[in-house]
A and B are shown apart, each in its own frame.
Chain A
Amino acid sequence: MKEYTYIGKDVVRIDGLEKISGAAIYGDDIDFGANLLHAELVSSTEAHAIIKSIDISEALKVKGVYKIFTGKDFPYKFGLYMKDRFIFAQDKVRFVGEQIAAVVARNPGAAKRAAALIKVEYEPLPAVLDQMQALADGATLLHPDLENYPHVPWFFPKPGTNIAHWRKTRKGDMKGGFNEADFILEDTYTVPRYAHCAIETHVAIGKFDYSGRLTVWSSSQSPHTQRHLFAEALGLGHKDVRVIAPHVGGGFGGKAGVTMEIIPAALATKLKGYAVKLRYSREQEFINTYQRLGVVAKLKMGVTKEGRITALDHKIYWDAGAYVEYGANVVNAVGLSAIGPYRIDNISIDSVCVYTNLPPGGAYRGFGYSEMLFGLESHVTRVANELGIDQIEFRRKNAIKVGDTTAYGAKMNPNGLLECIDKVVKAIDWGNKPAPTNPNTVIGNGFSLFWKAPAMPPNASSSAFLKFNEDASINLIISGMDIGQGYQTVMAQIAAEILSVPPSKIRVETPDTDRNPYEWQTVASHITWSSGNAVKKAAIDAREQILSLVQRVFNLPLEELYLEDEAVKCTQDPSFNLPLKSFVVDGIMTKDGTFKGGPINARGMFMPEFSSANGDPETSQGGHPNVHYTVGAAALTLEIDKDTGKMRVLKTALAIDAGKALNPDLVRGQITGGMLQGLATVLYEDMRYDSKGKLLNPNFTDYKIPTAMDVPDEIIPIIVEVPQPDGPFGARGIGEHTMLPAAPMVANAVEDALGLRIKSMPITAEKVAMAYLASKKQ
Chain B
Amino acid sequence: MKEISFVLNNEERSVSVEANEVLLDVLREKLGVKSPKCGCERGDCGACTVLLDGKAVRSCLVLAIEVENHRITTVEGISAEKLSALQEAFIQFNAFQCGYCAPGIILAVTELLLQHPHPSLEQIKESMAGNLCRCTGYSPIFDAIMALTKVEQHADAAENVTSQDQHPALPNVEGK
Contact = CB atoms under 8 A, between A and B. Distances in A.
B91 interface: yes
Contacts of A711: 125, 137-139, 142
A666 B126 CA distance: 25
Nearest to A668: B140
Q: Which of A12, A23, A28, A199 has the most CB of B within 10 A?
A: A199
B106 A20 contact: yes
A249 B41 contact: no
B132 interface: yes
Given A197-B134, A199-B47, A249-B37, A22 B74 contact: yes
Given A199-B47, A700-B45, A701-B44, A715 B100 contact: no
A16 interface: yes
Contacts of B129: 707-709
Interface in A647-703: 665-666, 669, 672-677, 699-701
A708 B46 CA distance: 12
A28 B25 CA distance: 12
A250 B135 contact: yes
Contacts of A26: 37, 100
Interface string A562-599: 00000000000000000000000000000000000000
A486 interface: yes
B35 interface: yes
A715 B138 CA distance: 11
B39 A672 contact: no
Contacts of B138: 672, 676, 706-708, 711
B78 to A, nearest CB: 9
A252 interface: yes
A672 B98 contact: no
B83 interface: yes
A621 B50 CA distance: 58
Contacts of A263: none
Interface in B79-123: 79, 83, 87, 90-92, 94, 96-103, 106
A107 to B, nearest CB: 10
A669 B94 contact: yes
Nearest to A18: B99
A12 B32 CA distance: 30
B134 A677 contact: yes
A12 B91 contact: yes
Interface in B126-160: 126, 128-142
A16 B89 CA distance: 10
A585 to B, nearest CB: 30
A705 interface: yes
Given A484-B135, A715-B137, A201 B39 contact: yes
B76 interface: yes
B170 interface: no
A582 B124 CA distance: 50
A717 B142 CA distance: 16
Interface in A285-339: none
A509 interface: no
B31 interface: no
A699 B100 contact: no
B73 to A, nearest CB: 11
Contact of B97 (A23, A485, A675): A485
B75 interface: yes
Interface string B34-57: 110111111011010000000000
- Which range holds the interface residue count of chain A? 35 or more
Given A29-B34, A249-B99, A20 B91 contact: yes
Interface string A442-454: 0000000000000
A281 interface: yes
Q: Which of B44, B100, B136, B137 has the most CB of A within 10 A?
A: B137
A462 B158 CA distance: 43
Contacts, number: 170
Contacts of A282: 39-42, 44-45
A666 B140 CA distance: 10
Interface string A190-214: 0000001111110000000000000
Interface in A482-513: 482-486
A673 B132 CA distance: 12
A666 B94 contact: yes
A715 B87 CA distance: 24
B87 A199 contact: no
Contact of A248 (B39, B98, B126, B130): B98
A715 B39 contact: no
Contact of B133 (A199, A485, A665): A199
Contacts of B32: 31
A24 interface: yes
A706 B102 CA distance: 16
Q: Which of B76, B138, B142 has the most CB of A within 10 A?
A: B138
Contact of A19 (B28, B99, B131, B141): B99
Given A20-B106, A21-B83, A249 B94 contact: no
A209 to B, nearest CB: 23
A15 interface: yes
A705 B90 contact: no
A483 B98 contact: yes
A31 B44 CA distance: 26
B135 A20 contact: no
Contact of B103 (A22, A674, A701, A707): A22
A19 B79 contact: no
Given A250-B134, A282-B39, A708 B44 contact: no
A699 B92 CA distance: 33
Contacts of B37: 26, 28, 199-200, 249
Contacts of A15: 99
Contact of B35 (A13, A22, A198, A482): A22
A247 interface: yes
Q: Which of A17, A20, A665, A709 has the most CB of B within 10 A?
A: A20
A185 interface: no
Contacts of A200: 37, 39, 47, 98, 100
Given A282-B39, A705-B132, A699 B44 contact: yes
Nearest to B77: A22
A199 B90 contact: no
A25 interface: yes
A709 B126 contact: yes
Nearest to A26: B100
B38 to A, nearest CB: 7
Interface of A: 12-13, 15-26, 28-29, 31, 196-201, 247-252, 279, 281-282, 482-486, 665-666, 669, 672-677, 699-701, 705-709, 711, 715
Closest A-B pairs by Cβ, 7 of them? A484-B97, A249-B100, A19-B99, A22-B35, A484-B98, A700-B44, A672-B137
12 contacts: A12-B91, A16-B90, A22-B76, A484-B98, A666-B94, A673-B136, A675-B137, A699-B42, A705-B134, A707-B131, A707-B138, A709-B125
Given A20-B83, A279-B38, A707-B132, 13 more contacts: A20-B75, A21-B87, A28-B37, A197-B132, A199-B134, A250-B135, A282-B39, A484-B98, A669-B97, A673-B136, A709-B126, A711-B125, A715-B139
